[in-house]
């Protein structure tokens, strides 16, 4: 399903923002990195990214946006509060909020192409979309395309525990008597198996399946993203949370391999939003304030330098 949106910018909420003064030193480094990347920029994408597979050159997403007035974005609308359908059945959420603002600044409408997350990179590679909504910057994915230079999300990966669990520390999960549930094909599946090699694993397709596995005590614990906390605790109030994330992943916009022209503009746009506190404010609006206020869990924001800054329930900030 496709959704064509003409973006309008909303006023930012008055939210917790990280201290910017500590990160001024980043500016010169970012400028140098941007300059090096710009030297590699080209107006067209090489044949390895051809939308037809015939070896012909592919038009840069930047030029296509200028020519057509439309940005084609691959999006999965089953990930609240990151990307979902609101009460009027329109795309909403943190990623949608950012994308609408980006489109308004570029001067284009957005063609949201609803695509299951696991198929989004393939859609970008095949030329069916110009950009993916966002993904963790896995090295394996970077072999297939380009990520914006600055993350748009720092997502904490958390542990939920079965009702009545006596586990109080992540180290206790590395035990042959512990069964962990993870989502298939995710960075959580990959990293958790490295962190806890002695544990048993059950690999499931959907986040809801993980929550059910833990709530019914078929698994001792599950590893998933912090933004799943509200929906899981609403559906299964008896599950417990370990208070400290296992790790924090960086996510950003994903574009075709070789499309440095689009990457350069998108990276500049994201860097500007980070420097002005927009990313932090919107994350707090959609995710952070809820996770901290209702569940007492620290949530990281993208700082003015692009660094991860964890903010706990008391407002204490820690650079990760």
User: How do the domains of the chain map onto residue ranges?
Assistant: 2-152+251-297, 155-247
pLDDT of residue 109: 98
pLDDT of residue 5: 56
Residue 68 has pLDDT above 50, yes or no: yes
Mean pLDDT, the chain, rounded, equals 85
Q: Do 155-247 and 2-152+251-297 fall under one CATH topology?
A: yes
pLDDT of residue 18: 53
Lowest mean pLDDT among 18-22, 120-124, 183-187: 18-22
Burial class (CB in 10 A: 0-12, 13-18, 19+), 70: middle
pLDDT of residue 4: 62
Contact 41, 261 (CB under 8 A): yes
Average pLDDT of the residues in 66-75: 98
Phi, psi values for residue 237, rounded to 5°: -65, -15
- From residue 256, how far is each of 115, 140, 141 by CA, in Å? 16, 14, 11
Lowest mean pLDDT among 19-28, 179-188, 220-229: 19-28
Using 50, 70 and 90 to split pLDDT, how confident is the model at 13? low
pLDDT of residue 94: 97
More confidently predicted of 230 and 21: 230
- Render pLDDT for 210-264 as a digit per residue (tens, 0 to 9): 999 999 999 999 998 888 888 888 899 999 999 888 999 999 999 999 999 999 9
pLDDT of residue 3: 62
pLDDT of residue 190: 83
CB atoms under 10 Å from CB of 40, counted, come to: 11
Burial class (CB in 10 A: 0-12, 13-18, 19+), 59: middle
CATH topology of domain 2-152+251-297: D-Maltodextrin-Binding Protein; domain 2 (3.40.190)
Coil, strand or helix at 249: strand
Intra-chain end-to-end CA distance of the chain, in Å: 38
Q: What is the largest CA-CA distance in the chain?
A: 60
- Going by CATH, does the domain composed of 155-247 fall within 2.30.40.10? no
Burial class (CB in 10 A: 0-12, 13-18, 19+), 284: buried
- Render pLDDT for 287-317 as a digit per residue (tens, 0 to 9): 999 989 888 888 999 999 999 999 998 999 9
Contact 129, 123 (CB under 8 A): yes
pLDDT of residue 20: 43
pLDDT of residue 153: 96
Average pLDDT of the residues in 28-32: 41
pLDDT of residue 141: 93
Residue partners of 196: CB distance under 8 A and separation at least 6: 173, 174, 178, 180
- Render pLDDT for 128-148 as a digit per residue (tens, 0 to 9): 999 999 999 999 999 999 999
CA 215 to chain centre: 26
- Render pLDDT for 156-181 as a digit per residue (tens, 0 to 9): 999 999 999 999 999 999 999 999 99
pLDDT of residue 230: 87
Classify the C-alpha dihedral 78-79-81-83 as positive or negative.
Answer: negative
């Amino acid at each position: 399903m496709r959704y064509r949106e003409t973006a309008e910018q909303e006023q930012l909420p008055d939210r917790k923002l990280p201290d910017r003064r500590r990160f001024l030193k980043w500016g010169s480094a970012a400028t140098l990195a941007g300059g090096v990347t710009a030297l590699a920029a080209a107006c067209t994408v090489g044949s390895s990214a051809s939308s037809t597979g015939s070896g012909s050159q592919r038009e840069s997403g930047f030029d296509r946006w200028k020519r057509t007035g439309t940005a084609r974005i691959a999006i999965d609308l089953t990930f609240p509060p990151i990307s979902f359908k609101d009460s009027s059945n329109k795309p909403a959420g943190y990623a949608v909020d950012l994308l609408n603002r980006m489109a308004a600044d570029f001067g284009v409408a957005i063609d949201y192409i609803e695509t299951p997350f696991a198929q989004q990179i393939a859609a970008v590679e095949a030329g069916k979309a110009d950009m993916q909504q966002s993904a963790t910057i896995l090295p394996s994915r970077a072999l297939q395309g380009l990520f914006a230079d600055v993350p748009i999300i720092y997502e904490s990966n958390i542990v939920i525990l079965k009702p009545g669990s006596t586990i109080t520390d992540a180290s206790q999960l590395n035990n042959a008597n512990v069964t962990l549930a993870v989502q298939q094909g995710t960075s959580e599946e990959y990293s958790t198996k490295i962190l806890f090699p002695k544990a048993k694993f059950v690999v499931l397709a959907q986040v809801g399946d993980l929550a059910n596995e833990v709530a019914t005590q078929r698994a001792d614990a599950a590893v998933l993203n912090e933004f799943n906390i509200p929906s899981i605790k609403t559906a299964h109030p008896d599950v417990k949370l370990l208070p400290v994330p296992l790790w924090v992943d960086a996510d950003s916009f994903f574009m075709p391999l070789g499309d440095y022209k689009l990457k350069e503009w998108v990276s500049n746009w994201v860097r500007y939003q980070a420097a002005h506190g927009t990313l932090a404010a919107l994350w707090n609006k959609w995710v952070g304030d809820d996770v901290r206020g209702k569940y007492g869990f620290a949530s990281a924001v993208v700082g003015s330098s692009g660094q991860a800054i964890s903010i706990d329930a008391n407002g204490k900030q820690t650079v990760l």
